[in-house]
C-alpha cells in the first residue's frame, strides 16, 4: 500500500519550552526519529510541516512546507500536510513520539481499511497526532477550520474514525514536557 508521511514539527512548544524537533533523545533529534521512522516504513514521500528551523533534506522524497496556519495548532499543520502529499493515504506523525518505529506505522496503516482515519489509544487516550488518514478528508477538515474549530478531536467528528489498541503500546510514548523525556 502506498502512503505518505506528514511530520508535524510544530515549533516552539509552550509546555516543552522550546522547539521539540530539535530536542535530543538517546542521541537523536526528535524530528530525525520521526523522519527515519516514516522512511523505514517505506513511505512514498514525507512532508515536514512547520518548526522554528526549516528542515532541509537531500532526499528527493522529503520536503519542508511552511504551515499554512501558523500558531493555530496542529489541525492547521495536518491540513497543510494533506495539501502537499503525493498519496491518497497519509500517516500523521507529531515529532514528539520517543520510541516510535516502522512497525507501529505499518500497523496503523493496516487498520485504516475503508475508514477515513484511524489512531491508536495510548494509556486510554486517543493519539490523533499519530494516525492514518485519507487525503480526501482535507476538505472536511478545512471546513471545520473555517468554522473556527482548532481542535483535531472536534474537527474529525465528521469523519469515519476508529481507534484501536496497538500491539506496541510502549512505542507510543510521547513527550510534551521536559520531565516526560526521561526514560520510563
Instruction: Answer yes or no: are the C-beta atoms of 103 and 109 closer than 8 Å.
Output: no
Average of per-residue pLDDT values in the chain: 89
Grid cell of 184 as nine digits: 520510563
* DSSP code of residue 17: S
CB 176 within 8 A of CB 127: no
- Which carries the bigger pLDDT value, residue 129 or residue 52? 129
Nearest to 41 by CA among 183, 168, 138, 175: 168
Phi-psi region of 60 (alpha: psi -120 to 50; beta: other; left: phi over 0): alpha
Reported as a pLDDT band with limits 50, 70 and 90, residue 12 is low
Residue 16 scores a pLDDT above 60: no
Please give the CATH number for the structural domain made up of 4-178. 3.90.550.10
DSSP state of 116: S
User: CB burial class (10 A; 0-12, 13-18, 19+) of residue 46?
Assistant: buried
- The number of angstroms, rounded, from the C-alpha of 95 to the middle of its chain's C-alpha atoms is 7
Please, are residues 114 and 27 in contact by the beta-carbon 8 Å criterion? no
pLDDT given for residue 11 in this prediction? 58
**Of the candidate ranges 67-71, 101-105, 166-170, the one whose mean pLDDT is the lowest:** 67-71
Q: What average pLDDT does this structure show over 9-22?
A: 63
Q: What is the CA radius of gyration of the chain?
A: 15
Q: pLDDT value at position 8? A: 93
Cβ proximity of 96 and 20 under 8 Å: yes
> Which pLDDT score, from 0 to 100, does residue 174 have?
85
The pTM of this model reads: 0.91
User: Could you give the percent of the chain with pLDDT greater than 90?
Assistant: 68
Read off the pLDDT band of 55 (50, 70, 90).
Answer: low
70-109, pLDDT tens digit by residue?
A: 888 899 999 999 999 999 999 999 999 999 999 999 999 9
Q: Is the pLDDT of residue 50 over 90?
A: no
Q: Span 179-183, mean pLDDT?
A: 70
Amino acid at each position: 500500500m502506498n502512503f505518505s508521511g506528514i511530520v508535524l514539527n510544530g515549533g516552539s512548544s509552550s509546555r516543552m519550552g522550546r522547539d521539540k524537533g530539535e530536542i535530543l533523545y538517546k542521541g537523536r533529534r526528535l524530528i530525525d526519529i520521526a523522519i527515519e521512522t516514516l522512511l523505514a516504513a517505506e513511505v512514498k514521500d514525507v512532508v515536514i510541516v512547520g518548526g522554528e528551523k526549516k528542515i532541509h533534506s537531500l532526499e528527493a522524497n522529503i520536503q519542508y512546507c511552511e504551515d499554512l496556519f501558523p500558531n493555530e495548532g496542529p489541525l492547521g499543520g495536518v491540513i497543510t500536510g494533506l495539501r502537499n502529499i503525493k498519496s491518497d493515504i497519509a500517516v500523521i506523525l507529531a515529532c514528539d513520539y520517543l520510541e516510535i518505529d516502522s512497525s507501529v506505522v505499518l500497523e496503523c496503516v493496516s487498520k485504516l481499511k475503508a475508514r477515513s482515519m484511524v489512531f491508536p489509544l495510548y494509556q486510554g487516550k486517543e493519539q490523533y497526532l499519530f494516525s492514518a488518514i485519507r487525503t480526501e478528508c482535507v476538505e472536511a477538515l478545512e471546513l471545520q477550520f473555517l468554522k473556527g474549530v482548532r481542535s483535531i478531536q472536534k474537527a474529525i467528528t465528521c469523519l469515519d474514525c476508529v481507534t484501536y489498541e496497538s500491539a506496541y503500546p510502549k512505542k507510543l510514548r510521547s513527550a510534551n514536557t521536559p520531565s516526560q523525556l526521561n526514560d520510563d
